[in-house]
Amino acid sequence: MSASAAQRIVSTSGCTRPRTAVSRVTVQAAVAAGKRRRNLQVCAAATSPGVLQKLARVFKEKAQQDVDRIFKGTSKTREKLGVIEELFAYWNLEDADETLEELEDALIMSDFGPKTAFKIVDGIRDKVKRGQIKTGEQMRSELKGSIVDLLTSRGGSSELAIEGAKPAVLLVVGVNGGGKTTTIGKLAHKFASGGAKVVLGAGDTFRAAAAEQLEEWARRSGAEIVRAASEKARPDTVLFQTVDQAVKTDADLVLCDTSGRLHTNWNLMDELAKCKRSITKRLPDAPHEVLLVLDGTTGLNMLNQAKEFNETVQLSGIILTKLDGTARGGAVVSVVDELGVPVKFVGVGEGIEDLQPFDPESFVEALFPEAPADEQQ
């Protein structure tokens, strides 16, 4: 089959205690040092000119905005975790065992999951017994530090592993309704706005409106799109041709869409593995990232999905969407703990800028913001 028969290429341009009020300024100050260090690491990783330096610049310029959006997007989860603020406030050593049990319950109710919640609280309990935690503020600090450590030690780096790749190829997978195609569109916009040449691959050949939806995102972001010319075209062929086109046109970044599928449909999962092999056939070191889009509102129910996708295509990262619409944000921590796969991006709103790079420090600070100094006394 000729390239022209297999695809159509479209270029576009164009006892209750009052809860403490915490300002975003407090959160921004708490994570500023970590953000600066993170941005320096991203810039240092981009050793060659081109897309990587441009993407690093985009992340750096958006860093302050990221804090604001993460703070807004985690408001429902933060509200649900409000009971923990009372545990910090009324902490005393005499009631330590009871308080720590309540802390476990609060974390589980916010979808941290029993395994993860027990792991976090057991570490705190051990330090209490050794006399290293004596105050509520010390417990708050240890809780936050434990969650950040878990996210970084179990998940590894949340940066995209695209250093030195040209084009860098991202294969995006997920179930129907998780926001996969929209997420690809937002990624295209984010990276293209930094000057990268982006090619989108319309590998979702089953959903009738998928290619049209992706084409609209291509138009909005100024990306190029490769899509099937006929209903009989196979998704693995489309993605092979997408990568081929990106190589020939010296593109920087390829974002490959795939058909949404239930993780229990083995035939479709096998087809997904074939899509990955097809990409590798055209570019041996690709895909450089295999990203699973998960709907944050499903909470811990997403774990079974993630495990099956991981077994089939070996995930390198997770994109968590709709975090702003749920109080189950603790599932972020549980998924990383269970799978050992990092979260790369989080969706904290419906806007085109609301898909944000995931930063463990900012995320934890947004969930457990420091109270102003005058209120800690």
pLDDT, one tens digit per residue, over 80-125 is 888 898 888 888 888 889 999 999 999 998 888 899 999 999 999 9
224: left (phi over 0), alpha (psi -120 to 50) or beta: beta
What average pLDDT does range 38-61 have in this prediction? Answer: 47
Phi/psi of residue 44, each to 5°? Answer: -65, -30
Average pLDDT score, the chain:
81
What's the one-letter identity of residue 103? L
What's the pLDDT at 151?
94
The single-letter DSSP state of residue 197 is -
Degrees to nearest 5, angle at CA 186 with 276 and 66: 115
Q: Residues of the chain with pLDDT > 70: what percent?
A: 79
Distance CA 331, CA 211 (A): 31
| Residue 245 token pair | 């086109």
What's the pLDDT at 66?
60
What's the pLDDT at 141?
94
> Which sign, positive or negative, has the C-alpha torsion 82, 88, 93, 97?
positive
Q: How many helices (H) and strands (E) does the chain have?
A: 16, 9
Coarse DSSP helix, strand, coil percentages of the chain, rounded to the nearest 5 percent: 55, 10, 30
Specify the pTM.
Answer: 0.82
- pLDDT-derived band of residue 40, with 50, 70 and 90 as boundaries? very low
- DSSP of 97-127: HHHHHHHHHHHHHTT--HHHHHHHHHHHHHH
Q: Which of 54, 68, 24, 113 is nearest to 252 (CA)?
A: 54
Please state which of the ranges 211-225, 298-312, 362-376 shows the lowest mean pLDDT.
Answer: 362-376
Tokens 């909005």 belong to: 220
238 within 8 A of 228, measured Cβ to Cβ: yes
Q: Which of 226, 329, 229, 246 is nearest to 287 (CA)?
A: 246
| Residue 362 token pair | 């900012």
| Residue 328 token pair | 């189950």
Tens of pLDDT along 212-247? 999 999 999 999 999 987 778 899 999 999 999 999
Distance CA 376, CA 81 (A): 18
User: Within 10 Å of residue 152's Cβ, how many Cβ atoms?
Assistant: 15
What's the one-letter identity of residue 264? T
Distance CA 292, CA 280 (A): 18
CA atoms lying within 13 Å on the CB side of residue 147: 26
230: left (phi over 0), alpha (psi -120 to 50) or beta: beta
Tens of pLDDT along 126-173? 999 999 999 999 999 999 999 999 999 998 888 888 888 899 999 999
Residues contacting residue 70 through CB under 8 Å, at least 6 positions apart: 346, 348, 356, 359, 362, 363, 366
